[in-house]
Chain A
Amino acid sequence: MILRTPPPRKRRAGSVADHESPVSDRRLVLYDDPVPVSVPVSSVDPPPDQMVCTYHCRQMVKSEFIVALDTAQKQVHGYQSQVETLKTELHEIEDERKKCQDRLRYLEQELEASKGREHALQERLIKEVNDSQERYQLQIKRCCELEVQLKKEVDSCKTSESSAASAKERATDLEEKLQRLSESSEREKNRLQRELSHCQDESKLSVSRKTADLERMRLKAENLEEESELLKKQLKEIREQLDECRHQKSALECKLSTIPTPSESTPSEDKNLVKHLREELQNYEAEVQEARRLKSCHMNNELLKEKLLEEKGRREKAEMELSQLREAQLNAQNLELELMSWKSLLKEIPDVTSCDDIPKKIAGLQKEAIESMIKVGEISAHLKELEVSLELAELSKQHAEKESALAKEKAENSALEVKRLELMLCSVTEERDRLNKDVIVLNKQKTAHADSRMMDETLVKDLESSLALREHTIKELESNLHEQREVINRQHDEMKLLNEKLSFEARRIKSLEREGDRLRSEIALLESKVLRMVNTLAVDNETKQTIEALQSELKKTQAKLQAVEELKGQSDAGNVIDVDISEKLAQLKGQIAILEKREERYKAVFAERISVFRRACCSLFGYKIVMDDQQRPNGIPVTRFTLQSIYAQSDDEKLEFEYESGNTNILVNDYSSQPEISHQIIVALAIEAELSLQLYQCNSYALPVY
């Protein structure tokens, strides 16, 4: 553009304008155009004095105005640049604000997230604390229950110990008493039975004899008494006759002595006299003999009387002995009753059928008592261990409670921290709002920029200060966040420790539960007995055959019994039923049942023992031995053994042996016919042969030669 007026001299914008152009004091002077020519002169008033200026003034003013304009433009430029810088700063501030807002939002989010996490952690902590409390309460309850059970078990153990001791003492006393009583009762019984039988027989015999003798003697005595009386009478008569004869004899002798001897007198009369006298003498001699005989009879009678008295004494003795017999019979009955009572006691004792079983039963009871004592000792040791573990669990529980209280406090502190952070957030959001308002005000003031340089400066200063504050708050927030993170990390670590402790406690609880279950199972074992069926699937043919044979025998005996019972039933009503046979039959049946049960038990125990032995041999020697009874075509029974290593890779890797009447021979099969195995077999056979030869030689050298 070509300027109509010369360009103004280049002066310094500020000073020239200030000093050389007093007019240009940066005030715009209003310029009014001159009055227009068309306007009649007469009608126009003369122009005011204040606004009259020449072209030069106008130019000067214009120049000054232009200068002012330029300066203003420069100022505007400057302000614009300042505004731009402020804008850029604003942009930067806005960017920073946005960043801060984003940061704030991020921080808010993080805060919310941390709050959420803390809340979740709190809830989790609270849950875990509640769970742990519940678990500890349960544990405490279980511990209390276990303690109660422990006490009960201890009491039961004590009572069982005391009862076992008392039972043991009683058992020993009873055993001794039983033995003594049984022996004495047996002896007494035998003796008494013998005596009884003997006495009975004797008494019967003696009684019968005595009665017969008594009768005889009585009759004899009566007869003899009658005879004696008769004889006495006869004696008297004879004595009288004797006396008379003696008198007559003496008289005759006197007569004879006085009378001379007539040799030639009548000899016939003498002969008759002598005959008569001889006859009388003979009669008298016969009478004397009769008297002597009577006397002997009398003596015999007296002897018989004495014998009678003796027999009476014996009879009284026999009656006394009979009464004693009755007493002995009563004693025997009492002893039999006692024996029956002891037998009934024996029957009450399980697994005891006779006196011989009592010591075994007592030995078994003693073993059971010892085993129960051992179990009681073990249980008491376990109880002590449980008590120790209970104490440890209580200590750990207290520790965990303390830790849970600490964790609660920490949670409360973290909640307080969260609240504080929230308050800080609120303050930060308020500041943010304030800053937003300031920014809005800035934007508003931007339009009226020319008059508000100071305000911009103040605004900038405020913005800077707010920025600094916000940075400070952001730093504080970051430090708080860092602290919170550290706190959270510490809480995480504590939570991990607590979780580890909880898992440890859970494992301890499981172990305690297992111990409790094991103790309960042991208690159940003590209170109950464990039975299992022996009739396993692998029943040997032999046992089957024996079972079948026994069953057939049973059926036969049962058929026989039925036949006997039918015969009994078919017999007449007047026939005497043999009670002993039925009793014997019942006894035999019971014995058969007992024996059968014993046999089955023995078989089962034997089969189990054999299987245990086989397994032990297999595990110890590393070889499995299978025994099988077979029969050759010629009917000879043969036992076959199969030897297989436990490390055999197939079923074919086995050696077969045949045992017959003390000789063992190896059988040929695919495995033994392999060259390596056959070589080893040959070597083994050779070694065996050498050993047997050496043994034979040793024995032959050892035997003395006669």
Chain B
Amino acid sequence: MLLTQDEGVKSFIASLTSQLSEWLEAGKLQRVVLVIMSKATSEVLERWNFNIETDAEVVEKGVSREKSDKEIMREIQAIMRQIASCITYLPCLEEPCVFDVLAYTDKDVAVPFAWIESDAKLIQNPQMVRLHSFDTKIHKVDTLVSYKNDEWDEQ
């Protein structure tokens, strides 16, 4: 697993995660989508969808739910292993690509600074693979990867 050292990417991810954590704590975040697009044509090639279900009782009433960090980390590690193993069936990306992150929020959320509304950047007739999910007792995250049908797979 590789980590970026580019300062621009790091700052982008840092500001992104700070906003996402703010929305998560408020219970306003519904899903997070990582989109990988072709740099030349802006065609969406892969779409990593993380669906988030928030326990409303915890957000509204402040009820505390406990689950050990070890167990949560174990579940996350399983998902990361699954994501790493997805390379076996995902099509090869043979051209330069760019990534972007979309956040699905409630309608009443104010658009913060440096964020704009966007389209969903869906893939037409995708192949979908559902991965494991993990649960922190407050948030439940389901993972799904959809990718463009490879010509060889269609044949």
Contact = CB atoms under 8 A, between A and B. Distances in A.
Interface of A: 513-514, 517-518, 521, 524-525, 527-537, 539, 597, 600-601, 604-605, 608, 615
A interface SS class: helix
A529 B119 CA distance: 9
Interface in B22-78: 30-31, 42
A537 B103 CA distance: 18
Given A514-B128, A524-B30, A615-B42, A531 B114 contact: no
A600 B102 contact: no
B94 interface: no
A530 B103 contact: yes
B107 to A, nearest CB: 6
Interface stretch (B9-17, B85-93, B132-140): B9-17
B interface SS class: mixed
Given A529-B117, A530-B117, A537 B12 contact: yes
Contacts of B125: 514
Contacts of A525: 104, 120
B109 A529 contact: yes
A529 B116 contact: no
Contact of B102 (A513, A530, A536, A608): A530
B126 A514 contact: yes
Nearest to B103: A531
Given A531-B111, A531-B118, 19 more contacts: A514-B126, A521-B120, A524-B30, A524-B31, A525-B120, A528-B106, A529-B104, A530-B102, A531-B105, A531-B109, A532-B103, A533-B12, A533-B16, A533-B19, A534-B115, A535-B114, A536-B12, A537-B12, A604-B114
A389 to B, nearest CB: 16
B74 to A, nearest CB: 28
B118 A532 contact: yes
Contacts of A530: 102-104, 117-120
A163 to B, nearest CB: 14
Given A521-B120, A597-B113, A532 B104 contact: no
A528 B30 contact: yes
B96 interface: no
A537 B7 CA distance: 10
B101 interface: yes
B100 interface: yes
B122 interface: yes
A604 B113 CA distance: 10
A181 B8 CA distance: 52
Contacts of A527: 107
Contacts of A514: 125-126, 128
Contact of A531 (B9, B42, B102): B102
A155 B152 CA distance: 42
With a 10 A CB-CB cut-off, give which of A518, A524, A530, A534 has the most chain B CB atoms.
A530
A531 B110 CA distance: 10
Contacts of A604: 114, 116
Contact of A532 (B30, B31, B107, B116): B116
B107 A529 contact: yes
B116 A605 contact: yes
A116 B15 CA distance: 65
Contacts of B111: 531
A527 B120 CA distance: 13
Nearest to A350: B110
Interface of B: 6, 8-9, 12, 15-16, 19, 30-31, 42, 100-107, 109, 111, 113-120, 122, 125-126, 128
A608 B117 CA distance: 12
Nearest to B31: A524
A485 to B, nearest CB: 35
Nearest to B119: A530
A625 to B, nearest CB: 15
Contacts of B16: 533
Contacts of B114: 533-535, 600, 604
A532 B106 CA distance: 14
Contacts of B102: 530-532
B114 to A, nearest CB: 5
Contacts of B128: 513-514, 517
A399 B104 CA distance: 42
A152 to B, nearest CB: 18
Contact of B12 (A513, A524, A535): A535
A513 B6 CA distance: 39
Contacts of A529: 104-107, 109, 117
Contacts of B118: 530-532
A600 B15 CA distance: 16
Contacts of A517: 128
Across the A-B interface, the 9 shortest Cβ-Cβ residue pairs: A532-B118, A535-B114, A528-B104, A537-B8, A531-B115, A531-B103, A530-B118, A528-B30, A532-B102
A635 B120 CA distance: 46
Nearest to A351: B111
A517 B107 CA distance: 20
30 contacts: A513-B128, A514-B125, A514-B128, A518-B122, A521-B120, A524-B31, A525-B120, A528-B105, A528-B106, A528-B107, A529-B109, A530-B103, A530-B117, A530-B118, A531-B102, A531-B103, A531-B105, A531-B117, A532-B102, A533-B12, A533-B15, A533-B101, A533-B115, A534-B115, A534-B116, A535-B12, A535-B15, A535-B114, A597-B113, A604-B116
B116 A601 contact: yes
A536 B101 CA distance: 10
Contacts of B126: 514
A529 B111 CA distance: 10
A193 B19 CA distance: 48
A615 B41 CA distance: 8
A45 B105 CA distance: 145
Contacts of B109: 529, 531
A537 B98 CA distance: 10
Contact of A600 (B107, B113, B120): B113
B42 A524 contact: no
B120 A532 contact: no
With a 10 A CB-CB cut-off, give which of B42, B103, B107, B114 has the most chain A CB atoms.
B114
Nearest to A532: B118
Contacts of B31: 524
A469 B26 CA distance: 89
